[in-house]
Amino acid sequence: METEVDTIQTLKAHLALNVRNVDESIAFYRRMLGIEPSKVRTGYAKFDVQNPPLNLTLNQHSFNERGALSHLGIQVASTLDVLAMRHKWEKAGLLTRDEMQTDCCYALQDKTWVRDPDGNEWEVFVVLQDNLAEPAPCECGDKATGGTVVTSNLATETKQSIASCCAPASKVTLAR
């Protein structure tokens, strides 16, 4: 006999990150999230984030390289929300990197990024236009890219336009 379930009450997403040093990661996530951890144990910390709803845990493990994780993100409603988050992160002393009017995941987006002590990148982004067509491959085999990358930290802001799909990626130095 089948049991019918009308609804599943989802409370929040859970994300467990492996970190090299839980104390360094706690300091970073305090600044990034603007809250204190709800639980700290040896080699472990939990942040109970209300907005967006997230159960984030940090688990200390040794590892040499970054894992298979690409990046983490929080989708917001507008570019003003992206800029407000960037301001909040900068005020907390975090180094930010912006990508405005960038094609990503077949969508036009505005976003800002921070990187945790283990190299995990977090983006806050807004989708301005979705379901873009796939661009034609370049002669070099990569897809065309476009947009502006801005690195910012309180007193420093650098803008770099990315236009050529076959040109080697420019290295952007982030200032503290």
Over range 48-75, report the average pLDDT. 86
The pLDDT tens digits for 1-23 are: 555 556 756 678 889 899 999 99
Over range 82-97, report the average pLDDT. 96
pTM comes to 0.66
CA distance 150 to 119: 19
| Average pLDDT across the chain, whole number | 78
| Per-domain residue ranges of the chain | 7-62, 71-176
DSSP secondary-structure letter at 137?
A: B
CB atoms within 10 A of CB 171: 6
Q: Residue 41: pLDDT band by 50, 70, 90 thresholds? A: very high
Domains 7-62 and 71-176 alike in fold: yes
The CATH-assigned architecture of domain 7-62 is Roll (3.10)
Whole-number percent of the chain with pLDDT over 90: 50
Contact in structure between 26 and 35 (CB atoms under 8 Å):
no
CATH of 71-176, one of 3.30.160, 3.40.50, 3.10.180, 3.40.390: 3.10.180
What pLDDT shows up at residue 3? 55
How far from each other are the two terminal CA atoms of the chain, in whole angstroms? Answer: 62
Higher-pLDDT residue of 80 and 3 is: 80
CA distance 52 to 55: 10
Higher-pLDDT residue of 66 and 155 is: 66
